[in-house]
Amino acid sequence: MREDNASELKAGEVEKEKTRRVRLKPINREQMVLRPVDVEALVPEDHEVRAIWEFVGRLDLSRYYEDIEVIEGEAGRPALDPRLMISLWIYAYSKGIGSAREVSRLCEYDPAYQWLTGMEPINYHTLSDFRVVHKEALDDLFTEVLGLLSAEGLISLERVMHDGTKVKACAGADTFRREERVRRHLEAARQQVEQMGDPRLAEEVSPRVAKARQRAAREKKERLELALEELERIRACKSSQEEKQEVRVSMTDPQARVMKQSDGGYAPSYNAQISTDAKEKVIVGVGVSQCGSDYEELVPGAEKVEETMGRVPEQMVTDGGFVSRENILAMKEKGIDFIGPMGVGVAQSAGQMKRRGVDPSFYPEAFHYDALSDTYRCPGGESLRPDGEEKRPGRTNYKYRASAADCQKCIFKGKCCPQNEMMGRAIVRGVDDPVVVAHKQKMETDEAKKIYRQRGAVAEFPNAWIKDKIGLRQFRLRGLVKVGMEALWACLTYNIKQWIRLRWRPQWA
């Protein structure tokens, strides 16, 4: 009997288990919720958005306020505070966001953006325009920031590392066209702009859409006109007629140039030049150029630092890509101690010899110079006598030549000067300017080598940070002026982040 009861109880439990229904919290998406929001409590005390707001609040923004037309006591919608717009962009860039639409979207739900805006929405057109309209004000802002960082002891200008990095342009490699195609597209764009003025066409769409289309057509026409100007500019740098005819330009961003990338490939790009103070790795100068080579960017880089900091650095350190005799003289002229290795000349000389079919055993090293008679003696035992000189920045090239008769009958001619039919073999003796000689000697010292070894860690850090954290591997804007502003925003963000790390963050540690 007891056994029957036990089995009945067990069966009941199993049945109960079968029919048991768990109770879960329902999700009601059809309700309206009204909750009080403490805006101040949206972000914690040590959130970096507060640091950005505080830092921007210390800056003199009068250049931005000058452009605001709405004033107290008069009609008109109040303008957005430049302090807010700057803080929004700095915070967005620090999170790797460079799209005005995305920033506008984040202002609707992200607590940090909501804290900044006081939970007010911000139109993306307003954000987008603000970023590129105030060019001079942005330059002043960068200088202002450096002034504050300098006052806080983060900049010394004792040693500045200068480097360049290629940033891809907002244009594809397949947008490059020759003059004929550009002109054809320009003609079509001009016709389109003219048709846009036809009221019958405007009636078919809303005024807002019609306005947007008009603006797009006008911008396209202007871009193609600029493309023709850029074509002429590039052509002026080409020597042969053949090269001039081959010139192409991007129809999307005519000011972009095809440049070699760090991975060995080629892409439409700009060359961003950044000067970094070695003390705390603060960026003290930034510029963007259309030139793929770095040689021409050192002097403008030094001038940029002088422009923003009011004086040139005591010392500038670069890699070999910036070192030329001309630059060594220019740095000396500016009173800057220049550290950078030389070494390209030898490779060029070997390249020339190879192109001329000269055997390595008859390279210039095989010829012996006699200072007393000012002549060279060749491996064949003949003399090469002075044959003119050429002055170049930082160097004078003295030419020496063997007689044509000696070379023509020489048994070594096939190895020594196989392409010379009418003239004898020539040798160039380059004599460096004393300033260049002193630079070469300095670069052989342990001290200069030690300083140079610090270059990579300092100069490449901001480049990597701007590309990895800010995501500026490709510009989002087009044209030299606008990409210059985008680079400036990125460097501004980097510098403020350095201040947060070094001065603001420690108080919460």
Which phi and psi angles does 493 have, rounded to 5°? -65, -45
CB under 6 A: which stretch of 59-67, 143-151, 168-176, 412-420 binds ligand SF4? Answer: 412-420
Q: Is 428 helix (H, G, I), strand (E, B) or coil?
A: strand
Least distance to ligand SF4 from the beta carbon of 432, Å? 25
What is the enclosing helix (H) or strand (E) of 219?
A: helix 207-236
Is residue 378 involved in binding ligand SF4 (CB under 6 A)? yes
Cβ proximity to ligand SF4: between 27 and 411 the closer is: 411
Cβ proximity to ligand SF4: between 407 and 459 the closer is: 407
Chain centre to alpha carbon of residue 332: 26
Query: Binding residue for ligand SF4 (CB under 6 A) from 252, 412, 460, 502?
Result: 412
76: left (phi over 0), alpha (psi -120 to 50) or beta: left
Least distance to ligand SF4 from the beta carbon of 392, Å? 25
Query: Binding residue for ligand SF4 (CB under 6 A) from 413, 429, 476, 501?
Result: 413
Cβ proximity to ligand SF4: between 262 and 419 the closer is: 419
Cβ proximity to ligand SF4: between 292 and 379 the closer is: 379
Calpha distance 228→219 (Å, rounded): 14
Cβ proximity to ligand SF4: between 130 and 367 the closer is: 367
Least distance to ligand SF4 from the beta carbon of 401, Å? 9
Q: Which of 370, 381, 378, 371 is nearest to 401 (CA)?
A: 378
CA angle 170, 173, 174 (to 5 degrees): 115
Query: Binding residue for ligand SF4 (CB under 6 A) from 138, 148, 286, 417?
Result: 417
Least distance to ligand SF4 from the beta carbon of 400, Å? 10
Q: Which ranges constitute the DSSP H helices of 402-479?
A: 404-409, 413-416, 434-443, 446-468
**Which runs of E-coded beta strand occur in 328-476?**
337-339, 368-370, 375-377, 383-392, 395-401, 426-432
Query: Binding residue for ligand SF4 (CB under 6 A) from 341, 364, 379, 471?
Result: 379
Calpha distance 14→315 (Å, rounded): 85
Which structure tokens are listed for 158?
């004792």
Least distance to ligand SF4 from the beta carbon of 408, Å? 8
CA angle 266, 268, 269 (to 5 degrees): 100
Is residue 358 involved in binding ligand SF4 (CB under 6 A)? no
Which phi and psi angles does 25 have, rounded to 5°? -70, 125
Instruction: Note whether 288 and 270 are within 8 A (CB).
Output: yes
Cβ proximity to ligand SF4: between 363 and 461 the closer is: 363
DSSP per-residue string spanning 282-315: EEEEEEEES-SSSGGGHHHHHHHHHHHHSS--SE
Query: Binding residue for ligand SF4 (CB under 6 A) from 182, 189, 317, 410?
Result: 410
CB under 6 A: which stretch of 58-66, 152-160, 260-268, 409-417 binds ligand SF4? Answer: 409-417
Least distance to ligand SF4 from the beta carbon of 387, Å? 13
Which phi and psi angles does 385 have, rounded to 5°? -105, 160
Residues 420-439 touching ligand SF4, rule: CB under 6 A, are: 424-425
CB under 6 A: which stretch of 205-213, 234-242, 294-302, 372-380 binds ligand SF4? Answer: 372-380
Query: Binding residue for ligand SF4 (CB under 6 A) from 416, 458, 466, 491?
Result: 416
CB under 6 A: which stretch of 11-19, 180-188, 277-285, 417-425 binds ligand SF4? Answer: 417-425
Calpha distance 427→415 (Å, rounded): 15
Which structure tokens are listed for 38?
């403490």
Instruction: Note whether 272 and 165 are within 8 A (CB).
Output: yes
Least distance to ligand SF4 from the beta carbon of 384, Å? 7
Query: Binding residue for ligand SF4 (CB under 6 A) from 48, 294, 382, 486?
Result: 382
Q: Which of 57, 53, 55, 29 is nearest to 42 (CA)?
A: 53
Which phi and psi angles does 482 have, rounded to 5°? -70, -40
Which phi and psi angles does 257 have, rounded to 5°? -130, 150
Is residue 248 involved in binding ligand SF4 (CB under 6 A)? no
Is residue 462 involved in binding ligand SF4 (CB under 6 A)? no
CB under 6 A: which stretch of 168-176, 182-190, 249-257, 377-385 binds ligand SF4? Answer: 377-385
Least distance to ligand SF4 from the beta carbon of 402, Å? 4
**Computed from CA positions of residues 69, 70, 75, 80, in that sequence, does the dihedral angle turn out positive or negative?**
positive
Query: Binding residue for ligand SF4 (CB under 6 A) from 100, 106, 171, 402?
Result: 402
Is residue 471 involved in binding ligand SF4 (CB under 6 A)? no
Cβ proximity to ligand SF4: between 383 and 474 the closer is: 383
Query: Binding residue for ligand SF4 (CB under 6 A) from 406, 432, 433, 460?
Result: 406
Is residue 377 involved in binding ligand SF4 (CB under 6 A)? no
Cβ proximity to ligand SF4: between 22 and 411 the closer is: 411
Cβ proximity to ligand SF4: between 97 and 358 the closer is: 358
Instruction: Note whether 116 and 84 are within 8 A (CB).
Output: yes
Is residue 163 involved in binding ligand SF4 (CB under 6 A)? no
Give bridge partners of residue 385 from the DSSP assignment: 401
Applying CB under 6 A, which residues contact ligand SF4? Answer: 378-380, 382, 402, 406-407, 410, 412-413, 416-417, 424-425
